[in-house]
């Protein structure tokens, strides 16, 4: 697998190294396949399904698509416009009237404005302690998950990893937590839950355009070779279950004793289904989409990923995260100023992103609705924090610095109550005025949507239990 800087659980097998005089044989195929299966979060998939079956509760088809605006979008220049304020505070953009009477948002979000009755804007999100590189607090729902302040921050599991464990996938041939990742520092991982609940990094599973770190299309595409069989290996050979099981047993002593191999032993047929089955491969194959749908989403990298996100939840994934960034530093939405490349400022940095995002999110929501999925899929768009009320920070004329005091976010779908704005900020957008919403509240809202009990726990390395939701309640206005 690519995209992870840390080793996977089967690194000891040296899956990419040829052993002496090598034929394209079954043993080396197994070695490579085990490493790939580890990245597919297989034990999480199987354990969740088994736990659901044992408890007698049916698996729901609820899911989440997280549009992660890596870097922290300016709340004032998106969803919390301040048109009556001086230029230095208001910023360079005008506003547009939305479908909700008396509510305005940025002029560069006209499509969302026209269908704001299907969205909820939250203008009073308390982002204190949230930071980036890595982006942990809101993706874990826990303020303590900030590595610059807490050396144990990496222990806190991603909300998506907790969904993978306690809800599982909606189909046994799909991974529960899938992510398109630009940088490992832009995602939260499984922490104390174990690597089996880490995301399946999907960048190499499909053909996608390759962009430069400032958003230029190189004309190249990724190889989409993740599911390709090694030369000389056919599906028919792989389906020789008895021989494969015997060879899995022979490899046991070469694999670490973390418990992941045990999970595979119990469900090797499902493991092979992930490898050779068609469901996941077809979900990642955009050529199977009608031409009209592909044209509607467009050719931009992020829009292609959004279309894939719908295909993935339709096929059975439970949580899909899109890392909306061109570069691997703090994130494309980190608009400090034109004098601080590659970020850009509000006009030249954020300005080109907003029409693209407007098209992406409205097309995704409309597409989910057309496929009968909108009531099942909760769409969330947010970043790490807001940005300073006044422009011109760090020697720039048009940039805004980090502002964790408050941020905005938006939601759609999930069968929740939309067509509303929750909370408000003071006149200059610097402080929360009403209805503070915390990371814990977001976690509780996601878990209630996904049917994950809010009182479930996970254990730390000393066996002490920790609640998946700390200091949070579901956002009552949505239910």
Chain segment 286-302, per-residue pLDDT in tens: 999 999 999 999 999 99
Tell me the sheet residues that pair with 106: 95
Tell me the pTM: 0.82
Share of the chain above pLDDT 90, in %: 70
The confidence score (pLDDT) of residue 435 equals: 98
Pick from 195, 201, 203, 71: nearest CA to 135: 71
Kindly provide the b/e burial profile for residues 389-401, where b requires at least 16 CB atoms within 10 angstroms of the residue's own CB: bbbebeebebbbb
Q: Which residues contact 370 (CB under 8 A, 6 or more apart)?
A: none
The confidence score (pLDDT) of residue 264 equals: 46
Pick from 343, 336, 357, 408: nearest CA to 103: 408
Pairing of strands 217-221, 209-211: antiparallel
Kindly provide the b/e burial profile for residues 163-181, where b requires at least 16 CB atoms within 10 angstroms of the residue's own CB: bbbbbbbbbbbbbbbbbbb
Q: State both tokens at 369.
A: 């609705």
Whether 316 has a pLDDT exceeding 70, the answer reads yes
Q: Where do the domains of the chain lie, and which CATH numbers do they carry?
A: 62-225+279-478 (3.40.720)
Whether 365 has a pLDDT exceeding 60, the answer reads yes
Q: Can you say whether the dihedral through the CA atoms of 414, 417, 423, 424 is positive or negative?
A: positive
> How would you write 298-327 as a 3-class SS string?
CCCHHHHHHHHHHHHHHHCCCEEEEECCCC
443 near 159, Cβ under 8 Å? Answer: yes
CA 413 – CA 366 distance, rounded (Å): 10
Residue scoring higher pLDDT (78 or 21): 78
Pairing of strands 104-106, 95-97: antiparallel
Chain segment 173-211, per-residue pLDDT in tens: 899 999 999 999 999 999 999 998 999 999 988 999 999
Whether 94 has a pLDDT exceeding 70, the answer reads yes
In this prediction, residues 429-434 reach a mean pLDDT of: 98
The confidence score (pLDDT) of residue 246 equals: 54
325 near 182, Cβ under 8 Å? Answer: yes
The confidence score (pLDDT) of residue 460 equals: 86
CA 162 – CA 452 distance, rounded (Å): 9
Q: Provide the pLDDT confidence category of residue 2 given band limits of 50, 70 and 90.
A: very low
The confidence score (pLDDT) of residue 281 equals: 86
Q: Provide the pLDDT confidence category of residue 336 given band limits of 50, 70 and 90.
A: very high
Residue scoring higher pLDDT (57 or 35): 57
Q: What is the largest CA-CA distance in the chain?
A: 74
Mean pLDDT rounded to a whole number for the chain: 84
Q: Taking the mean position of all CA atoms in its chain, how far away is CA 1?
A: 18
In this prediction, residues 368-393 reach a mean pLDDT of: 97
In this prediction, residues 395-406 reach a mean pLDDT of: 96
CA 210 – CA 219 distance, rounded (Å): 7
């Amino acid at each position: 697998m690519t995209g992870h800087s840390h080793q996977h659980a089967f690194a000891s097998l040296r899956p990419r190294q040829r052993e002496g005089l090598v034929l394209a044989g079954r043993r080396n195929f197994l070695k490579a396949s085990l490493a790939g299966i580890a990245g597919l979060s297989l034990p999480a998939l199987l354990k969740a399904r088994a736990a659901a079956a044992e408890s007698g509760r049916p698996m729901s088809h609820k899911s989440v698509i997280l549009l992660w605006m890596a870097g922290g979008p300016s709340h004032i220049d998106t969803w919390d416009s301040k048109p009556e304020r001086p230029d230095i505070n208001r910023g360079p953009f005008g506003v547009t009237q939305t479908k909700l009477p008396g509510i305005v948002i940025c002029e560069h979000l006209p499509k969302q404005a026209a269908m704001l009755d299907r969205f909820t804007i939250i203008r009073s999100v308390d982002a204190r302690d949230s930071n980036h590189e890595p982006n942990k607090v809101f993706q874990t729902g826990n303020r303590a998950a900030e590595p610059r302040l807490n050396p144990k921050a990496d222990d806190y599991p991603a909300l998506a990893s907790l969904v993978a464990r306690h809800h599982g996938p909606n189909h046994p041939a799909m991974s529960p937590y899938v992510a398109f990742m630009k940088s490992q520092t832009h995602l939260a991982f499984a922490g104390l839950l174990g690597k089996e609940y880490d995301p399946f990094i999907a960048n190499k599973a499909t053909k996608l355009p390759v962009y430069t770190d400032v958003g230029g299309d190189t004309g190249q595409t990724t190889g989409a070779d993740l599911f390709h069989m090694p030369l000389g290996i056919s599906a028919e050979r792989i389906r020789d279950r008895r021989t494969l099981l015997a060879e899995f047993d022979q490899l046991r002593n070469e694999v670490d004793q973390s418990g992941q191999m045990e999970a595979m032993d119990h469900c090797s047929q499902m493991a092979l289904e992930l490898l050779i089955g068609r469901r996941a491969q077809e979900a990642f194959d955009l050529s199977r989409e009608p031409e009209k749908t592909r044209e509607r989403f467009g050719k931009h990298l992020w829009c292609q990923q959004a279309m894939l996100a719908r295909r993935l939840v339709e096929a059975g994934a439970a949580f899909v995260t899109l890392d909306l960034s061109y570069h691997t530093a703090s994130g494309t939405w980190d608009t400090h100023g034109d004098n601080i490349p590659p970020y850009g400022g509000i006009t030249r940095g954020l300005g080109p992103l907003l029409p693209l995002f407007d098209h992406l999110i409205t097309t995704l929501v409309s597409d989910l609705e057309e496929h009968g999925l909108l009531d099942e899929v909760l769409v969330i768009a947010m970043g790490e924090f807001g940005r300073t009320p006044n422009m011109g920070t760090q020697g720039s004329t048009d940039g805004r610095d980090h502002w964790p005091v408050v941020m905005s976010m938006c939601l759609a779908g999930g069968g929740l109550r939309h067509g509303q704005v929750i909370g408000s900020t003071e006149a200059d957008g610097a402080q929360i005025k009403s209805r503070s919403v915390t990371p814990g509240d977001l976690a509780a809202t996601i878990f209630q949507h996904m049917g994950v009990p809010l009182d479930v726990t996970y254990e730390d390395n000393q066996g002490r239990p920790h609640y998946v939701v700390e200091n949070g309640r579901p956002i009552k206005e949505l239910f």
